[in-house]
Amino acid sequence: MSFIETNLFSTLSSDPSSSDPNPSGTLYSLYFSTERDESFWLVFTSLTLGILTAFQATIFCFIVYRLVFILARRNSEQYDAASHEVRGIVWVSAGVKIGALESLLGFAGGSFGIALARRIMRFSSRVCLCIGLSMRYVFFVIKSGLL
């Protein structure tokens, strides 16, 4: 990346004595030196986002598999042993799925609306994960008598 410094007062006709947040009048901007540098940045950013999305989708598939396995075992003779394992797993799977969707939304671009939607989705996925984990482990602590 290269760095450009331009004088803001030479391009804009503003009064330097006004309450300007940038009193020196210097505008800084970054740009890529070549098209090749920008292409590398785009490829590695997309690759990283794709790997993160694939990882989150894989974790979601493992969670769904585990839930199906627990529910199948719950219908058998081991009902009491498997009943506490379901607590919170739906919240955890919802949190992971929302996180994967948030990562997919990262491919859309960088406008303010998309950034705000991604932050809201990231927040809600973390809330779901926290609720799911707390439901599972708080129940375990209460049942085992550690509290």
Q: What is the pLDDT of residues 109-118, one digit of tens each?
A: 778 888 899 9
pLDDT for res 125: 94
The answer, yes or no, to whether residue 13 has pLDDT greater than 50, is: no
pLDDT for res 27: 61
The answer, yes or no, to whether residue 12 has pLDDT greater than 50, is: no
Domain ranges of the chain: 1-31, 45-144
The overall average pLDDT reported for the chain is: 77
Q: What is the pLDDT of residues 62-99, one digit of tens each?
A: 988 888 887 777 776 655 555 556 778 888 889 999 99
Q: Measured between alpha carbons, how far is residue 104 from residues 49, 53, 55, 92 in Å?
A: 8, 7, 12, 19
User: Residue 67 and residue 88: Cα distance in Å, rounded?
Assistant: 10
Element (H, E) at 6: strand 2-7
pLDDT for res 117: 92
- Answer whether 82's CB lies under 8 Å from 70's CB: yes
